[in-house]
Amino acid sequence: MFKEMSGEEKYIDEKRQGEVFFKENTELNKITKKVYIESYGCQMNFNDSEIVAAIMRKDGYEATRNIADADLIFVNTCSIRDKAEKTLLKRLTEFQVYKKNNKDIKVGVLGCMAERLKEEFLENKIVDLVVGPDAYRSLPELVEWSKHGNKGINVHLSKEETYDDITPVRLDKNGVSAFISITRGCNNMCTFCVVPYTRGRERSRNAYSIVAEAVDLFSKGYREVTLLGQNVDSYHWENPETGEKVTFSNLLELVAKVNPLLRVRFATSHPKDMVDDVIYTMAKYENICNYIHLPVQSGNSRVLELMNRTYTREWYLDRIKKIYEIIPDIAISSDMIAGFCTETEDEHKDTLSIMRESNYSMSYMFYYSERPRTKAERTLEDDVPLEMKKKRLSEIIRLQNQLSFEHNKKDIGKVFEVLIEGDSKKSKEEFKGRNSQNKVIIFPKREGLGVGDYASVRVYDATSATLKGKLED
């Protein structure tokens, strides 16, 4: 695969030339306006906000963290759960104070909620723009349109858009870790999920552009990248020059080869597409982190079938067994939904037991929230009482806290290579960083070490959430 890297080198060269032109262009035009962007939901949304910031910068807007300075306010939204939508709708009403103080400020709703609730937003007097995840290139035009008293809207879902020619403006200022989007949309059609309806069908980004972005980030001092997609394992791109096909395991290898000092992570994986090739590639390269997020959602095969997850309990556990067999020291995390439609108490206990058998290092845990337009909303009865959902969720959380604590206790006495990300929340005398297994480690500072450096740290204590360590001599 890619023995001759001329295509990649050409892409990187063209990208760098474009960046030089972009810098000269913005210097001539002078950035005089500011855009404030709030992001909610998944990592894809945060990465999308960086794409939006790049598009708006070319139009003369600088990203600001101070909303009071903004000429333009964007909220990048999430539709995955009802609570998230209610929080965001409340947040929109809070922007009224800024509109009252400055009538020229424009407010835009971006992302998944924009696509799903476009009519409702258009009726809202404080919203001037409604723009879906595939329409961000139209933002400058829609902002200008809104300045003349019009409502700017574009929620068109694309079959091709990947934004692979746009270099994101990194809004996370630590300068150590960055997201790289490799796919957009989703084809999996889980019955509980609204993503295929708000982000469209799956498409894979040009492999050359992904590698070029990783090269660029490393040259700017970044030491960790996370490859993002609704289902990264189904990544599939065909080289138009040679016809060669690039799978996710091929892509992982290409990014790992950028530099051994560049850590590589990825999220999220769908169990049905987690093939052995990916696991073996992880084991082959030390800089591909020993961590997989492998959402199970439920531990019961009947419920999994209702969710259209396309695997059984037994099949999932077989994948878990294979992963531990190839990479014994790996950490695996998951997602769980409590109280899905018709779930019984015994089926809930199956979820608890699969958590134990999989030995998750951590999990994202929620009770079922029916989402409009999904197949579950159309065809299944949301019949588990809310109090029962909350009870089952609390049992899942309690078990995961126990598993996480036991998982972390086993690390006491071990030495890990930690990438320093910044100061500890509790003390400026301590650093925080993560090891290859995605665990946060806190340790005392030492002169000569700083953010972005690697440090060897021996763990001496653990909680369910954090490891505590000391620097090795």
What the block records as the tokens of 281 is 């590639």
What the block records as the tokens of 171 is 């809004």
Residue ranges of domains in the chain, CATH in brackets: 31-154 (3.40.50.12160), 174-289 (3.30.750.210), 290-410 (3.30.750.200), 415-471 (2.40.50.140)
Q: In whole angstroms, give the CA distance from residue 154 to residue 130.
A: 6
What the block records as the tokens of 430 is 């301590």
Q: What is the pLDDT of residues 327-339, one digit of tens each?
A: 999 999 999 999 9
For the CA atoms of 91, 97, 100, 105, the dihedral, rounded to the nearest 10 degrees, stands at -50
For the CA atoms of 322, 328, 329, 330, the dihedral, rounded to the nearest 10 degrees, stands at -10
Buried b (16+ CB within 10 A) or exposed e, 101-119: eeeebbbbbbbbbbbbbbe
Residue 364 pairs with which residues in a beta bridge? 335
Q: How many CB atoms lie within 10 A of CB 100?
A: 10
What the block records as the tokens of 196 is 């295929």
Cβ-contact 84, 117 below 8 angstroms: no
Residue type, 78: C
Q: What is the pLDDT of residue 24?
A: 43
Q: What is the pLDDT of residue 12?
A: 53
What the block records as the tokens of 381 is 């009865």
Q: In whole angstroms, give the CA distance from residue 25 to residue 280.
A: 45
Q: Look-up: residue for tokens 């806190």?
A: 442
Cβ-contact 395, 219 below 8 angstroms: no
Which parts of the chain have pLDDT scores under 70?
1-31, 80, 124
Cβ-contact 91, 38 below 8 angstroms: yes
* Residue (of 92, 123, 120) closest to 108 by Cα position: 92
The maximal CA–CA distance of the chain, rounded, in angstroms, is: 67
Q: In whole angstroms, give the CA distance from residue 285 to residue 246.
A: 18
CA–CA–CA angle 121, 84, 65 (5° rounding): 80
Q: What is the pLDDT of residues 188-231, one digit of tens each?
A: 999 999 888 888 999 999 999 999 999 999 999 999 999 999 99
Q: What is the pLDDT of residue 22?
A: 47
Q: What is the pLDDT of residue 217?
A: 96
Long-range contacts of 24-32, Cβ-Cβ distance < 8 Å, separation of 24 or more: 25/58, 26/57, 26/58, 26/60, 29/60, 30/60, 31/57, 31/60, 31/61, 31/62, 32/60
Q: How many CB atoms lie within 10 A of CB 190?
A: 21
